[in-house]
Amino acid sequence: MNTALLINTTGLVVRERRINESDRLLNILTPDRGLITAFADGALRLKNKNSAATGLLCYSKFTLYHGKDTYKVNEASAVNVFFRLREDIVKLTLAQYFCELSKNLAPEEENADEYLRLTLNALHLLAEEKRSPLLIKAAVELRMLILAGYMPELGACRECGGHQDDFLFDFDGGILCRNCFAGQKNAVPLSKGVLAALRHIVSSGFERMFSFSLPQNTLEELCRVVERFLLVQTECAFKTLEFFKTL
């Protein structure tokens, strides 16, 4: 008896590996089932019907066979392949990094709708050059950390609860006033502009999270703070991030 179920879903291909001459193994970020791993047999053959919709960064409609513990792509048709991301190595690398982030942080086999919306929105803004790449990077990193449960406390000093206006960012997940800082190594001074941007990214609604602007030096400071916070909290190494830094 064939116990495989046929399911329909949309999803973003966040990782694609070649497993032999003609087959692909995909990690797909779906809204309802989170991250799933699926085989796309024959997808590397040029004339294969699923070839165009199963590459990295393809957002596609899938019909999948769900077997005992594997998924297999029956049909895939592309909804958006983010063609313009391929125009530029910086955009493409950041897009791949956002995929690697969601591959590491999104849950498997449970709802990941917000991870998917965040990643798709970021790819769209990046492709269409609606925001600066560094701004998109910092906002995606911080919002994805929040989705994964790493919410920094930015309201007041995490030690004394004070509301001074001179804070340091504590990479354990919050802000510290000068009095409470006491020379800890795991904290850096925070300019007012960066603190305001962090608070905006953390507290704004989905539609507004990318709607801010900063002078270039403040934006670079924001990026350093958020990236280090991400690396400290996740304890992950991201290959695509390392490559991005060489560009």
Residues forming the site for Zn ion (CB under 5 A): 157, 159-160, 162, 177, 180
Question: Could you tell me which residues are beta bridge partners of residue 30?
Answer: 34
Cα separation of 214 and 194, whole Å? 8
Residues 6+ apart with CB under 8 A from 218: 191, 193, 194, 197
Beta carbon of residue 155, minimum distance to Zn ion (angstroms, whole number): 12
Beta carbon of residue 162, minimum distance to Zn ion (angstroms, whole number): 5
Of 103 and 199, which CB lies nearer to Zn ion in the complex structure? Answer: 199
Beta carbon of residue 179, minimum distance to Zn ion (angstroms, whole number): 5
Of 151 and 160, which CB lies nearer to Zn ion in the complex structure? Answer: 160
What are the tokens at 124?
């769209």
Counted residue by residue, the chain has a size of 247
Cα separation of 210 and 140, whole Å? 9
Cα separation of 240 and 53, whole Å? 22
Of 67 and 161, which CB lies nearer to Zn ion in the complex structure? Answer: 161
Of 182 and 247, which CB lies nearer to Zn ion in the complex structure? Answer: 182
Beta carbon of residue 218, minimum distance to Zn ion (angstroms, whole number): 24
Give the count of beta carbons closer than 10 Å to the beta carbon of residue 220.
14
Beta carbon of residue 12, minimum distance to Zn ion (angstroms, whole number): 42
Of 107 and 161, which CB lies nearer to Zn ion in the complex structure? Answer: 161
CB 26 within 8 A of CB 9: no
